[in-house]
Structure 1
Amino acid sequence: MTPLFNAIINKSVITVKYEPFNTPEYKVTFHPYFLKQYNNRWFVFGYNEFNQNQHWNLALDRINGDIEKSNEKYREDTTDWIEFFDDIIGVSKDPNRQVEEVKLVFSKEQAPYIDTKPLHWSQKTKLLEDGSLEVRIKVMLNYELEMRILSFGEKVKVLAPDSLVIQIKERIQKQLNNY
């Protein structure tokens, strides 16, 4: 992490060997801007020269070998990184997606945990007559949101948006087919 932190502070372009899951290793020239931890994994965000993506992220544990300094001219960044993560859960952000209101209902047993440890800063809650908890959050749909919802198992039901209801239902069906 120290070489990445130093590259961010010193505005240095780097070259790394990166090996995503289920994909062969490749070399990338990268302009690092921001470090973020999510779910016990660190990520570096920056500009990927190959695909010209200003908000590319690399998981630090997938970087292989040494981080090499490049002689390329550093591309400045004006992203407000705190605001960048404001409308997502996790680190995956699709610029083509819009923020949507996600509506969930948690079981009576799960309700106090969700009420005292919100899923997202935008969370609004309403205690229902049966003791269950209706939760509304405004976020972009992404992989980490889906995984978070699935982690609650039978103690949560997705009510909206319809696209998320369908996606979670399909994932649960595939999981059920494993048994």
Structure 2
Amino acid sequence: MLQDFNSNTVRLRVGFASSAQYKAFYFNSNAVRLRAFVESVTNINVTRFQFQHGTIERKPESEVNNVRKKFQFQHGAELIEVFLNTIQSASMVRFSHQKFENDTPVTYELEPYVVKEHRNRWYVIGLARNRQGIRCFGLDRILADSIEITSDRYEPSAFDADAYFSKALGIAVYDEPAQNVVISMTPMRGRYFRSQPFFPFNQEDILADDETEFKCRLHMIVNKELIYELARFANEMKVISPESLRTDLLQHLKESVAFQN
């Protein structure tokens, strides 16, 4: 079957042997890295690649192995195939995961659904049985020698990665619902924002667009990634609501100034 993958820069159609296989993939990447990653996967029956400029045939195995080596600069990339295999076989996997801020790793039992790339890091998303909810784990923080692919099989999920991540910036999807975030910015920043927004919005979400400001509403989950993005343009962009986000952004900026001093 053919399945579409869309990113900011490329529309890719990949031929898979079955509909179950493409569910393992969720990409937010450019064309070159997208092609290189898919070509590096040997256990998925990828049959052809179609970019806007034509069709690219799959490379011989010797060349594919060379492509795989290029991914080793990304921590955790060596585990991509491991989790793709568990997704394909619908195998429950057990592993230890250690957050950067914690000294002690935590063991999880996961029904893996999706492998996702974000900002040069790779993540696996699935149902954590011992947390009874969908969780996201950075592959670079999974202890490789702790991975155990069990004989326990799970029923493939109808998990929709697009829907799951659609209301959040980045990979931090919390249990809280999305809310309306209203931001105001200078007219110049507004022109940049309209041409390449960090989060999608509709025409009816534009609340002001004149010579004094550009103001819009974004319906999204508030997370740290949003705060970091807003801080990048704090001299040209401000939060109108919700007040809690405005408070968190101001606190982040205060701490940044204090650290620099």
TM-score normalised by structure 1 residue count? 0.88
What residue number does 2:116 align with?
A: 36
Q: CA separation in 1, counterparts of 2:184 and 2:116?
A: 30
Aligned residue for 2:111, secondary structure, equals strand
Counterparts of 1:79-118 in structure 2 under 5 Å? 79-95=159-175, 97-118=176-197
* Residue type at the aligned position of 2:91: S
1:13-46 per-residue CA deviation (whole Å, 9 max, x = no partner) reads 1122211111122332211001222222221111
- Which residue in the other structure is 2:228 paired with? 147
Larger Rg: 2
Q: Of 250, 255, 258, which residue of structure 2 is paired with 1:169? A: 250
Q: Does 1:127 align with 2:209?
A: yes
Contact 2:110 2:129 in 1 (8 A): yes
Aligned Cα RMSD in Å?
1.8
Equivalent residue for 1:49?
A: 129
Moved over 4 A (4+): none
- For 2:81, the equivalent position in structure 1 comes to 2
User: SS in structure 2 opposite 1:83?
Assistant: helix
Question: Which sections of structure 2, spanning at least 5 residues, go unmatched?
Answer: 1-79
Match of 1:71, SS state, is: strand
1:48 and 1:56 in contact (8 A); partners too: yes
* 1: CA distance, partners of 2:118 / 2:161: 14
Give the TM-score normalised by structure 2.
Answer: 0.62
Matched, 1:15 2:97: no
Contact 2:98 2:105 in 1 (8 A): yes
- Whole-Å Cα distance in 2 between the matches of residues 31 and 114 of structure 1? 38
Could you say which residue in structure 2 is the equivalent of 1:159?
240
State the number of aligned residues: 176
Aligned 8 A contact 1:31 1:75 in 2: no
Higher fraction of helix = 2
Counterpart of 1:73?
153
Q: What are structure 1's unaligned runs of at least 5 residues?
A: none
3-state DSSP class of the match of 2:154?
coil
In the aligned structure 1, how far is the partner of 2:81 from the partner of 2:249? 38
- Is 1:128–1:134's contact at 8 Å kept on the other side of the alignment? no
Q: Partner letter of residue 60 of structure 1?
A: L
Higher relative CO (Cα under 8 Å, sequence separation at least 6) belongs to 1
Matches of 1:89 and 1:17, distance apart in 2: 26
- Whole-Å separation in 1 of the counterparts to 2:245 and 2:107: 35
* Counterpart selection for 2:141 from 62, 65, 71: 62
Q: Distance in 1 between matches of 2:99 and 2:158?
A: 27
- Give the fraction of aligned pairs with identical amino acids, expressed as a percent: 22
Measure the CA separation in 2 of the matches of 1:39 and 1:150: 17
Offset of residue 75 of structure 1 = 5.0
Deviations, residues 112-153 of structure 1 (Å, cap 9, x unaligned):
2211001222253342222x3212211111121111111223
Quote the Cα distance in structure 2 between the aligned partners of 1:122 and 1:109: 18
